[in-house]
Amino acid sequence: MPRPIHAVIHQQALQHNLQVARSCAHQSQVFAVVKADAYGHGIERVYPALKSADGFAFLDLTEGKRLRALGCDKRLLLLEGIFGLEDLFDCAKYGISFAIHAQHQLEWLKTFVQLQPDVQFDVFLKMNSGMNRLGFVPEQYPVAFQELKSIEQVCSISHMTHFSDADGMRLGQEGIEHQQLVFTETIQNLPGKTSLSNSAAILRHHQHIQSDIVRSGIMLYGSSPDYPAHTIDHWNLKPTMSLRSELIAIQ
């Protein structure tokens, strides 16, 4: 940019915020969410500070490729899953796990393993427990699980959902209790690890949620997920970006 404007990324603040996530979810693996180019901070700029995370989650396959190019050997998760059969070639090549949230994705996977029978995938099966964005409804979820389990190239299935009201900000909210109950009852006879908590759930509800893998996103970048109810000072988070410029005139 040909003007004296700079975005300064604070590595120590990123490390600090990751440690806050770990201290809240000390019994869980902590995945760092780097979607949208690490929330606008730049994956290459934040990776040195976040590389101690147990894994990384993102929306775009190119973000996973960039992490591998940086030398990342941690688990990678494509949060919204594949957008076509061809995406599975990259998932296989770069060792990227992916979400399955709809039947058409399952069909792509079945077709792909016939073409590439030697691949192995870790899959996160997503349940729509009440957010109504992505995922199999609870009634369909066990059927999808059994379909995945029948694919021998799927070496692990993790159960995943996303809380709609973990931040406590919505009118008429049911809170997390209803979704947590639906999720727990649906998977009670299905083996596999779980991934429930986003930033708001990590900070606000960690004492009441057992999640094998948590997905820390906005909190890593120094933003309170339930602002204005709580500021970053309340959650002991630190801002990770400063915008700096220069005066060009004084009148």
Instruction: Compute the radius of gyration of the chain from its Cα atoms.
Output: 19
Q: Does the pLDDT value for residue 84 go beyond 90?
A: yes
For residue 172, the model assigns a pLDDT of 47
The chain-wide mean pLDDT, for the chain, equals 94
Domain boundaries, the chain: 6-244
Q: In one letter, which amino acid is 62?
A: T
152 contacts 186 by C-beta, under 8 angstroms: no
Cβ-Cβ contacts under 8 Å for 25 (sequence gap 6 or more): 197, 202, 206, 211, 214, 216
For residue 169, the model assigns a pLDDT of 59
For residue 165, the model assigns a pLDDT of 82
Query: pLDDT (tens digit, 9 = 90+) per residue, 15-72?
Result: 999 999 999 999 999 999 999 999 999 999 999 999 999 999 999 999 999 999 999 9
Q: What is the three-state SS of the chain? A: CCCCCEEEECHHHHHHHHHHHHHHCCCCEEEEECHHHHHCCCHHHHHHHHCCCCEEEECCHHHHHHHHHCCCCCEEEECCCCCCCCHHHHHHHHCEEEEECCHHHHHHHHHHHHHCCCCCEEEEEEECCCCCCCCECCCCHHHHHHHHHCCCCEEEEEEECCCCCCCCCCCCCCCCHHHHHHHHHHHCCCCCCEECCCHHHHHHHCCCCCCCEEEECHHHHCCCCCCCCCCCCCCCCCCCEEEECCCCCCC
Neighbouring C-alpha atoms within 13 Å toward the C-beta of 121: 34
Q: Does the pLDDT value for residue 215 go beyond 50?
A: yes
Query: pLDDT (tens digit, 9 = 90+) per residue, 148-179?
Result: 999 999 999 999 999 988 877 554 456 788 89
For residue 34, the model assigns a pLDDT of 98
Q: Provide the β-strand partners of residue 126.
A: 160
Cα distances (angstroms) measured from residue 47 to each of 67, 97, 191, 214, 217: 8, 19, 32, 18, 14
Cα distances (angstroms) measured from residue 30 to each of 25, 155, 232: 8, 21, 19
Residues 81-94 have a mean pLDDT of 98
The structural architecture, per CATH, of the domain 6-244 is Alpha-Beta Barrel (3.20)
Q: Does the pLDDT value for residue 94 go beyond 50?
A: yes
Residues 117-131 have a mean pLDDT of 96
For residue 167, the model assigns a pLDDT of 78
> CA 164, 168, 169: angle at the middle one, nearest 5?
90
For residue 171, the model assigns a pLDDT of 45
